[in-house]
């Protein structure tokens, strides 16, 4: 799977830098082409001569060569790569990557790189556990980078804990796994709704909810990574879709989401309805800001919004598949099953606010999948990216069956 792949290996100033030699050897053995970019601190721990000999490429560290003025283009390098792996990644480099501090060749290359990025942290256990490091790693994850969790064990400081860079063979296995990822959704078109909707009351106020869009965006990335073309209809969220196969359509209200979704559904193979759509909107949209002084006590008269899932359930034809969500606070299984039938879904993803770490805004979710054949699959609390993968596994199997 790695044969012919172009891999940038970023090496930073950790004692684990010596393991980079083993990574190069393993990658080259699998016929990948490796280009090393090393930070100045990295060069203190392993020599460029070792790395260039193993990779058969000159090692890049500076923006240009003092000897002959040759310019090293981080942009060209970023475009050349099929993947960038930073191993070992120190707390300092992780911080720079998370905050765009491009003061060396490695971080500028990272910022220019369009290919998937893998980060293998290596540091002392307390540095790894520090909230700054954890927040920076979360930030990298939110950019779509893959963090290869460090292992527990004896560290360079002789302390024992989590912070030891994952073993080279395992890192290479992870890269291999990534490239062998099934592209089983190639040629499929998938429509996804995400985020909240805002229902305007007046120019400064709205009715909304806490949805961050994380679950819906994770689903969009998972589908795109497996080869699908994704139309992502999103309510107001601050997230960015990263994969080039995701076409984002931004909407605000439930009515706008309804129009954007219903008009696109006929050309789709499947739709996943993850948005937290407001069930009601104010009957009247005030043109000017409502003033408490002149209005006093007030009553909002609300009208029900159209149900997007139920509409698509009626429109669904032939091999089209429809996946809904149910966000519940009690009697989850009962309510989810009811929605599954009422909206003519193929399966429904139940998440409950009764479960800690599940639902709105968390990076994690805990879901149960219920299908129309009555099968029930319960999953433990996982990161939303992993939850998305579980959901897409089930959808893929359904689409394959036809
Ligand atoms: O965005 P995050 O912060 O990551 O949070 C994720 C989430 C909690 C929003 C997500 O996991 C989730 O549960 N989304 C559905 C929330 C919801 O509105 O559930 P519901 O039980 O009210 O709706 C049932 C289904 O009908 C959903 O698929 C919903 O998208 C759909 N619906 C609801 C109302 C409506 N007018 N149109 C719809 O299509």
User: 327: CA distance to ligand 1 center in Å?
Assistant: 6
Q: Is the pTM of this model over 0.75?
A: no
192-210 mean pLDDT: 98
Residue 79: the pLDDT is 87
CA diameter of the chain: 79
Give me the percent of the chain exceeding a pLDDT of 70.
98
Distance, CA of 43 to CA of 45 (rounded, Å): 5
Active site residues: 209
Give the pLDDT confidence of 352-397 residue by residue, as tens digits. 999 999 999 999 999 999 999 999 999 999 989 989 999 999 999 9
Portion of the chain with pLDDT greater than 90, in percent = 81
Q: How far is the CA of 182 from the centre of ligand 1 (A)?
A: 28
Note the pLDDT tens digit of each residue in 233-251: 999 999 988 776 889 999 9
Nearest-atom number in ligand 1 for the CA of 361 is 3
Whether the predicted pLDDT of 343 surpasses 80: yes
pLDDT tier for residue 67 given thresholds of 50, 70 and 90: low
pLDDT at 300: 95
Q: What is the pLDDT of residues 96-111, one digit of tens each?
A: 999 999 999 999 999 9
Kindly report the protein residue whose alpha carbon is nearest to atom 24 of ligand 1: 326
Task: Write down the pLDDT at residue 247.
Answer: 93
Contact (CB, 8 A) for 386 and 363: no
CB 327 less than 6 A from any atom of ligand 1:
yes
Is 385's C-beta closer than 6 angstroms to any atom of ligand 1? no
Amino acid 1: pLDDT: 81
Angstrom distance (rounded) from CA 251 to CA 21: 49
Helix/strand/coil for 277: coil
Q: Please name the residue whose Cα sits nearest to atom 35 of ligand 1.
A: 307
Q: Is the CB of 339 under 6 A from ligand 1?
A: yes
Query: Nearest CA to 324 among 310, 303, 306?
Result: 310
Q: Mean pLDDT across the stretch 137-141?
A: 90
Contact 81, 111 (CB under 8 A): no
CB neighbour class for 298 (10 Å; exposed up to 12, middle 13-18, buried from 19)? exposed
- What's the mean per-residue pLDDT of the chain? 93
Q: What is the pLDDT of residue 66?
A: 62
Which residue's CA is the nearest one to ligand 1's atom 10?
Answer: 274
Write the residue with the smallest CA distance to atom 13 of ligand 1: 327
CB atoms within 10 A of CB 216: 29
Q: What is the pLDDT of residues 211-228, one digit of tens each?
A: 999 999 999 999 998 989
Distance (angstroms) between ligand 1 centre and the Cα of 5 equals 40
pLDDT higher than threshold 80 for residue 71:
no
Residue 156 has pLDDT above 90, yes or no: no
| Residue whose CB lies within 8 A of the most ligand 1 atoms, among 251, 324, 341, 344, for a mutation test | 324
The protein residue whose alpha carbon is closest to atom 27 in ligand 1 is 325
Distance CA 223, CA 396 (A): 9
Q: Is residue 53's pLDDT more than 90?
A: yes
**Could you report the per-residue pLDDT of 281-322, keeping only the tens digit for each?**
999 999 999 998 888 899 999 999 999 999 999 999 999 999
Distance 287 CA to ligand 1 centre (A): 29
Q: How far is the CA of 307 from the centre of ligand 1 (A)?
A: 11
Model confidence band, residue 45 (pLDDT cutoffs 50, 70, 90): very high
């Amino acid at each position: 799977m790695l044969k012919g792949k172009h891999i940038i290996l970023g090496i930073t100033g950790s004692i684990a830098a010596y393991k980079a030699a083993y990574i190069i050897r393993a990658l080259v053995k699998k016929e990948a082409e490796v280009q090393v970019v090393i930070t100045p601190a990295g060069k203190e721990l392993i020599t460029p001569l070792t790395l260039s000999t193993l990779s058969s490429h000159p090692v890049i560290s500076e923006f240009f060569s003092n000897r002959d003025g040759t310019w090293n283009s981080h942009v060209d390098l970023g475009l050349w790569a099929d993947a960038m792996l930073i191993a070992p990644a120190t707390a300092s480099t992780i911080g720079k990557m998370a905050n765009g501090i491009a003061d060396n060749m490695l971080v500028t290359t990272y910022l220019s790189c369009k290919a998937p990025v893998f980060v293998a942290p290596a540091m002392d256990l307390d540095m790894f556990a520090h909230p700054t490091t954890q927040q920076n790693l979360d930030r990298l994850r939110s950019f779509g980078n893959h963090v290869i969790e460090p292992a527990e064990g004896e560290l360079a400081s002789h302390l024992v804990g989590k912070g030891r860079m994952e073993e080279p063979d395992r890192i290479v296995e992870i890269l291999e796994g990534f490239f062998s990822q099934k592209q089983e959704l190639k040629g499929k078109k998938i429509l996804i709704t995400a985020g909240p909707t805002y229902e305007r009351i007046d120019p400064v106020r709205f009715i909304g909810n806490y949805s961050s869009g994380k679950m819906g965006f994770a689903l969009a990335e998972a589908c795109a990574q497996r080869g699908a073309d994704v139309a992502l209809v999103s309510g107001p969220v601050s997230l960015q879709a990263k994969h080039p196969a995701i076409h984002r359509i931004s909407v605000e209200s439930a009515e706008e989401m309804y129009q954007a979704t219903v008009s696109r559904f006929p050309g789709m193979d499947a739709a996943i309805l993850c948005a937290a759509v407001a069930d009601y909107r104010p009957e009247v949209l005030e043109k000017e800001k409502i003033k408490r002084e002149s209005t006093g006590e007030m009553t909002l008269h609300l009208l029900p919004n159209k149900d997007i899932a139920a509409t698509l359930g009626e429109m669904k034809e032939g091999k089209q598949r429809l996946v809904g969500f149910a966000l519940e606070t009690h009697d989850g299984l009962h309510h989810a099953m009811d929605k599954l039938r009422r909206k003519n879904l193929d399966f429904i993803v139940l998440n409950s606010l009764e479960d800690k770490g599940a639902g709105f805004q968390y990076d994690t979710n805990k879901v149960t999948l219920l299908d129309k054949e009555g099968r029930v699959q319960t999953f433990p609390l996982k990161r939303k990216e992993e939850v998305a993968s579980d959901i897409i596994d089930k959808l893929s199997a359904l689409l394959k069956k036809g």
